[in-house]
Structure 1
């Protein structure tokens, strides 16, 4: 008999679980009685009205050993009532965890990564991707503190040694970047979209490839990302400081249609790179999407040209795609503004 490798579980959500306590208890009881095989590698839970996950997801061991010891992919979608996520530390082979529409989650605690367990290191060493979407009430990710040599409290280091990608989308109340990401030595990509409370993104020493922000209403500072190569900023109206991005190569920026001036932090960022020794200057490409007033101000002889001409390659385009400016290495300059 072939081993079961992939499983999708669901619940008929046509009945609103908020209106039926019996429905919630029934779902919890039925899910708790399930016994997925140890061979399972992919698990999807597409609807679950219960307040707590079944014991075979929350407990580290079962009578036969590790809980789902071969699970590599876990996706959970639509949790109207659950207040706690299953700990990814329970699944030693897990590589990817996605959660979507977890409306009742307010806090993710240290048990999520196994940081609250007495003794031993966290077991989620193979986790490569984390994705959190549509969590409208999630406010904080609390991590364990341990006694430091100076008597203070410090984070347990590097709980996610293989994490490469993290995505936080439509989590408007999340107040701060999870500190666990600062201790992920192989982090390559971080995407944050539609957040209204984070004010600062800083101290990500290992983030190497892509950092993307979209609709970050309160973000004021991006700093101390010494390995970052590509930064993408879309609709961050309060951003004032972008600094200490020593290896930045490519910046993509979107400004409001009515904007007429480039943000002041861009000139400061360029100056930081120009002040570095020539062998260490990495900033080579700037892409901008904007309205016609801002594009026009970047043309030769216009107020923003002195900033544009310092960047080796520049591509500027209006939102409708009709107008553009392209400049490269002081030798190539093309625009169709004013040609009509």
Structure 2
């Protein structure tokens, strides 16, 4: 029986099997702690490669670089939570960056914030198209978001004639380049965003509805959840997050390129899966996703310090996704222990 909370929303946690609720909570917490522990261990171990690695300044650099992936993975994680997948994020990162430098630029003045809001609105509108295609037209998420990605990338190419112009507005330079008390401002932003994302995903009615839809659409519909709207909104949020990452990259590099988002699609999925979310939807923790993003960023930094090319990073990220998917399968760990006992 579905319980009703004091705020009038269905209590899906109470609907779940009481024997598994505590175990799931503990498992999510353990996943997050393990991922953060691996990140710390990797930072410490990296000092064996080079004394410059593992220093406080290097940690701040890792957190700065991880901020892009954390913001992007929040939106991707919500889409995955409802059983979807957003492959349009690279093109939307590029769109956000290109529109920012073209419309806002360095001379927008008092109009900078409204123009940036307009850019996010355009990106969110593209996400709405994704949501309509997936929810109303029943196009598979993989196909819908890939088609959107190709279309948006083509529009960006035509809009810029192959060469994005303009520089970063001052507000984005301040976010990405300035420091306060010796700590980059973007690190404070990262902490605030992580806390806000955790609250939204785990402690709001909307977050509970996402878990319910990802677990069972039919059960959620019977419980009174507006399934279509709840399933559509994550695509809008994911697109807005991708557009904002494009803005952050503009502030970091003081410019935009047509390939600026290409390297973020696989990591955005990997961070979510490594953090303990099920690729099939219905379970996940944004705290774990933050840990996954930091772990991948740390790994990329170490790989770059060793001198390996980008291809090795992609191979490692793909391998991590496969291992995480295996580890998250129900009964996988139990079967491993059983076989170990037999041998």
TM-score normalised over the length of structure 2: 0.22
For the pair shown, the structure with the greater C-alpha radius of gyration is 1
Higher helix share: 2
Higher strand share: 1
Higher relative contact order (CA 8 A, sep 6+): 2
